[in-house]
Chains A and B, each alone.
Chain A
Amino acid sequence: MDKQSRRKFIRMAVRGAILGGMAIVTGDLLFRQEGSLFGKNRKSGPTVWQLDPAKCIQCGRCATECVKTPSAVKCTHAYSMCGYCNLCSGYFKPGTKTLDTGGEKQLCPTSAIKRTFVEDPFYEYTIDEALCIGCGKCVKGCGAFGNGSLQLQVQHHICDNCNECSIARNCPADAYRRVPLTDPYLLKGFGM
């Protein structure tokens, strides 16, 4: 190969590489969405950690494994599913005889659930986020005996959104996944 044709070859190769690179970048921009050839398994935009209530087994690790103290995971109430029960199995310890707000009768270790009378025989239950440690005890009780309206969710105004979430790493149910920041909660309920 003489000197001139070698130069020509290098020039052509560089042009080809530039054109190929541009085609890949253009294609990626054009098809950047889930399910497309280039954007397969890829979320557009920033993502955050969230817990899927359908997979959650209330193991208690959301309370103990989070780098935040107390945990960034909190009990969240899907009111559309709530039965507003007098005997709320997420509020009262099992076997409680008298249904009042005495601390010894409450299931929550930090009394983070507030019980408010609505009308006979209905009561509303609200979560005091500052007190909730994300242990999931109430979630277990509500799911086992009631409708499952109490659910654990990562609260994004508290969560540091670590690259490697320490709860996700230790979750035995593999319930954590990245979700789009634009739709950051996975509450299940009627009309949700």
Chain B
Amino acid sequence: MKQKIILILAIAIFFALIAWMIGDLFTGNSEPQKNPFDYGMKALRDADSIPDFTEAVSLKPTLSEITSISTGTDGRIYIAGRGGVEIFNSSGHILNRFTIPGNATCLSYMPDGNLAIGIEDHVELWSPSGVLIAAWPAADTASVITGVAATPALIYVADAGKKIVYQYNRDGKLLAKIGEKDPVRKIPGFIIPSPYFDVAISPAGDLWVANTGRHKLEKYGSDGSLLISWGETSMAVEGFTGCCNPSHFTFLRNGSFVTSEKGIERVKVYSPEGVFQFLVAGSESFDEGTRGLDLAAGLNGGILVLDPSRNLIRIFLPNKKN
């Protein structure tokens, strides 16, 4: 009798143990292990204020690996990427597409309606119908062409490899180098730690360059003199942070600056004097680690953001209170 009780007890304990193990396996603490050395990126990404713009619509190009965007005066949208260019009207309908010999790194709509395109190691000018107008090689074998902008007579090419902006005429003749360090002329030189180095022409026709390592936007005369600069280093939404920002910028029709950043991905609007005005999109709008948010100004105050991570053109419109 005594043996029977011991046997029953042993079996009961055995089954209880099995039940506890199964329970522990399926209902145990499933929280991921915390990182005691966490950098705190999430807190930094969540710190931005509520955006003053809302994403209205997105445009899906058929091109892959899109890198650059520009808009024409009539609202047409020009997109370049892996081996080609696509042109859409302001409603998002495709108008034309053509191939280019390589992968575009930057693109700019020119005042005469043509396109200036940086393609790996050279620059090409194309008509919107897909006719090659001119082409010339980069200034140096170490060149990394990251930005292009055009006035009616001149083409400016930002070279992150040589940390210089080159000024060409429309035939590709090199006319001047802009931004070389020159203490006599009080030019500090460009600090470009990574291949993000943008250049743009303001509505007033002035040349602006992103000196990303200094977190500044700088205005240069056509003779290469540094005229004015603005921008401050700060994690706050008003400033630029990381090793090198803003990675891209463009202008609204009223002369305001639109900037984009990497690290803490965000798009912002600054007044023509460089005063922070609006947050267009904060880091919550982008995949973590997204780099290369190229920008263009759309019609009706819209801002077009090229999102290379999602291969989309995302169009943000101001909220009604703005």
Contacts and interface: CB of A to CB of B under 8 A. Distances in A.
A63 B235 CA distance: 28
What does DSSP make chain B's interface, helix, strand, loop or mixed?
loop
Interface stretch (B9-17, B115-123, B241-249): B241-249
B18 interface: no
A137 interface: yes
A109 B39 CA distance: 11
Interface residues of B, number: 25
A84 interface: yes
Interface size class of A (residues with CB under 8 A): 20 to 34
Interface stretch (A4-12, A15-23, A143-151): A143-151
Interface string A68-93: 00000000000000011111110000
Interface stretch (B30-38, B67-75, B81-89, B92-100): B30-38
A64 interface: yes
Contact of B37 (A87, A137, A146): A137
B98 to A, nearest CB: 32
Given A87-B233, A147-B193, A137 B243 contact: no
A34 to B, nearest CB: 31
Interface string B21-60: 0000000000011011111110010000000000000000
A129 to B, nearest CB: 17
Contacts of A106: none
Nearest to B261: A145
B213 interface: yes
B243 A147 contact: yes
Interface string A104-145: 000101000000000001000000000000011100110011
Interface of B: 32-33, 35-41, 44, 191, 193-194, 213-214, 233, 235, 241-244, 262-264, 289
Interface of A: 58-61, 63-64, 83-89, 94-95, 107, 109, 121, 135-137, 140-141, 144-147, 172
